[in-house]
Amino acid sequence: MVSPSLSTTRRGALGLSAAAMIGATLRAANAAPDGELRIGVHVSLAPTWFDPAETPGIITPFLLMYAMHDAMMKAMPGDPVTPCLTESWTMARDGLSYAFTLRKGVLFHNGDALTAEDVKFSLERYRGAASKTLKERVAGVDIHDPHRLTIRLNEPWPDFLTFYAAASGAGWIVPRKYLQQVGDDGFKKAPIGAGPYKFVSFTPGVELVCEAFESYWRKAPVIKRLVFKVIPDEATRLAALQRGEIDIAYSIRGELADELVRTPGLTIKSAVGSAPFWLYFPEQWDPQSPWHDPRVRLAASLALDLKTMDQALTLGNSRLTGSIFPENFEFYWQPPAPVYDPGRARKLLAEAGRARGFDAGDYYCDTSYANIGEVVLNNLREVGIQVKLRPLERAAFFKAYSEKKLKNIVQGASGAFGNCATRAEAFVVKGGTYVYGNYPDIDALFAEQAAEMDRAKREAILHRLQQLVHEKSIYAPIWQLAFISGVGPKVGQSGFGLIRGFPYTAPYEDLTLKGKA
């Protein structure tokens, strides 16, 4: 039996706790953003990145776009296509149009309400990556009222949302009226968006300062000011973090990452981006080449001691997926985990008539990642495959790779946006930019999925396609590279790794400083 006094006390305590919780919640809800977070950025910030219309096909501009702008839908924690400025969308049965309902009450930083006119304007104005593809396939935009619109297509296009939401900046919305007032150049000098942080100042080559936009629809940011400080040298960036001049340092690699781990108060954070690395055997279609035999290609794959390499080069943070497709991409199929088995590799080579190993010629790679090549070379030598490292300067490497001029072994990588279909188109299917030969069964599957509007059926086809890539050992996958950064003692929630495949800190409105959350 519970005594009345105890019961009263308990009720009282519960009541007090509830009141305290409500009070804390209200305080948190009403608390003004406070404090400053300084982020040491590894690249120079370009004003072109302030304008979503000019989004190139690289991930870097998104580190600013997640702060200053917002999209119809974008990758967020737990969901790669999260409705943001749009509440919902529906595809027409014939696949020829998509109807969107916009979120109400969304404001731009200048106080203007975001409407369907802005969405139409942003799509029509878009001229960045994939703009040609979008413009060729989008027939027009119909506005029904300020919060409802329909995007019409010329023909059914299963990848429309991939391109609109992920592979371009067309779905990132800019204010039409303001842009028409100030023009493109004026917009880059004083950008206005609908994101959680508003632009304050930009000093080229030095820093970008942003301030919390308290009317952000999702929630008001906790941190008052974000300062993106440009520090191109990696060692200097680490020194600035150690000294407390910055709170987050992007891209700290190799020995400097070891130093970071050893520094008290600093923590290492890694985020795996959408950039898998692999070995490609461009001569596998030549019957005279040792690589023509799938057993030899599999042997090369089994010879790779990926776990040791991962530990040595990225402190165990890269993802060993066994695939050339990013695991965060739509329609991803997870192959069996990669295995390191030099004994089996030698056996396979013997079965293929290469018991004494063979001279495999040159190993081409981008100089920036020659350190990976050095480890792979040693692994291959251990099973008898002799190769010579031929690092090429980045632009020269990708030019030669795309012009089909490389031979023997190519160490490739890609961080291009899209989904597994777009990735297959570039790297697996006949006619692809980096495809040196093809397999008819894979090509047939690709053509079949391109015409399939049923998502489940399309997924099944693309899974089968990836399975064939794996079974034929067209590639020897290495890893999905980790982007390693350092975080200082002041930071609470750093945001690294919250969004799958996104290497930077985001969403910015979720970041906190210790003791200020």
Q: Which is nearer to other proteins, 93 or 132 (CB)?
A: 132
Please state the closest distance from residue 431 (CB atom) to other proteins, in A: 10
Closer residue to other proteins, CB minimum distance, 206 or 350: 206
CA end-to-end span of the chain: 41
Applying CB under 8 A, among 64, 174, 179, 231 the residue interacting with other proteins is 231
**433 makes contact with other proteins (CB under 8 A):** yes
Piece of the chain touching other proteins by CB under 8 A; list 29-37, 301-309, 425-433, 451-459? 425-433
In the numeric block, the tokens 């999260």 are attached to 82
We find the least distance from the C-beta atom of residue 223 to other proteins, in angstroms, to be: 21
Sign of the dihedral through C-alpha 363, 401, 394, 63: negative
- Does residue 205 bind other proteins (CB under 8 A)? yes
DSSP class of residue 384 equals T
Q: How far is the CB of 177 from other proteins (least distance, A)?
A: 23
Site membership for other proteins, residue 213 (CB under 8 A) = no
- SS3 state at 46: coil
Q: Exposure of 450 by Cβ count < 10 A (0-12 exposed, 13-18 middle, 19+ buried)?
A: middle
Burial of 118 per CB tally in 10 Å (0-12, 13-18, 19+) = buried
**Distance (Å, rounded) from C-alpha 184 to C-alpha 161?**
26
Q: Is 507 exposed, middle or buried (0-12, 13-18, 19+ CB in 10 A)?
A: buried
Q: Which two tokens stand for residue 278?
A: 């692999």
Minimum distance of other proteins from residue 516's CB (angstroms):
24
339 or 396: CB nearest other proteins? 396
Q: Is 90 in the site for other proteins (CB under 8 A)?
A: no
- Contact between 395 and other proteins by CB under 8 A: the answer reads yes
CA–CA separation, 430 vs 159, rounded Å?
19
Q: Does 394 bind other proteins (CB under 8 A)?
A: yes
Residue 225 interacts with other proteins (CB under 8 A)? no
Instruction: State the amino acid at position 310 in one-letter form.
Output: D
Nearer to other proteins, 48 or 371 (CB): 48
Q: Which is nearer to other proteins, 130 or 279 (CB)?
A: 130
Span interacting with other proteins, options 171-179, 240-248, 287-295, 452-460, rule CB under 8 A:
240-248
Q: Which residues of 136-170 are buried (b: 16+ CB within 10 A; e: fewer)?
A: eebeebeeeeebebbbebeebbbbbbbbbbbbbbb
Does 416 sit near other proteins (CB under 8 A)?
yes
Please state, in angstroms and as integers, the Cα–Cα distance from residue 283 to each residue in 62, 147, 162, 293, 474, following that order: 37, 54, 33, 10, 10
Work out how close the CB of 239 gets to other proteins at its nearest, in angstroms, rounded to a whole number.
4
State yes or no: residue 489 binds other proteins (CB under 8 A).
no
Q: Which is nearer to other proteins, 220 or 271 (CB)?
A: 271
- Does 508 help bind other proteins (rule: CB under 8 A)? no
- CB atoms under 10 Å from CB of 513, counted, come to 18
DSSP string, 110-142: TSPBP-HHHHHHHHHH--STTHHHHHHHEEEEE
Per the structure block, which two tokens stand in for 320? 């060993």
Shortest Å distance, C-beta 456 to other proteins:
26
Task: Out of 74, 109, 319, 423, name the contact with other proteins by CB under 8 A.
Answer: 423
**Closer to other proteins by Cβ: residue 369 or 439:** 369
Interface with other proteins includes 232 (CB under 8 A)? Answer: yes
The answer to the question of residue 187 lying near other proteins (CB under 8 A) is no
Indicate whether 262 belongs to the interface with other proteins (CB under 8 A): no
Break the chain down into helix, strand, coil percent, rounded to 5. Answer: 35, 25, 40
Provide, rounded to whole angstroms, the least separation between the CB of residue 398 and other proteins: 4
What token pair was written down for 287?
Answer: 């019957």
Apex 298 CA angle, 445 and 380, nearest 5: 140
Per CB under 8 A, which of residues 104..163 are in contact with other proteins?
127, 129-133
Binding mask 38-57 for other proteins (x = CB under 8 A): ------x-xxx-----x-xx
Binding site for other proteins (CB under 8 A): 44, 46-48, 54, 56-59, 127, 129-133, 188, 203-207, 229-233, 235-236, 239-240, 242-243, 245, 393-396, 398-399, 401-402, 412-417, 422-423, 425-427, 433-434
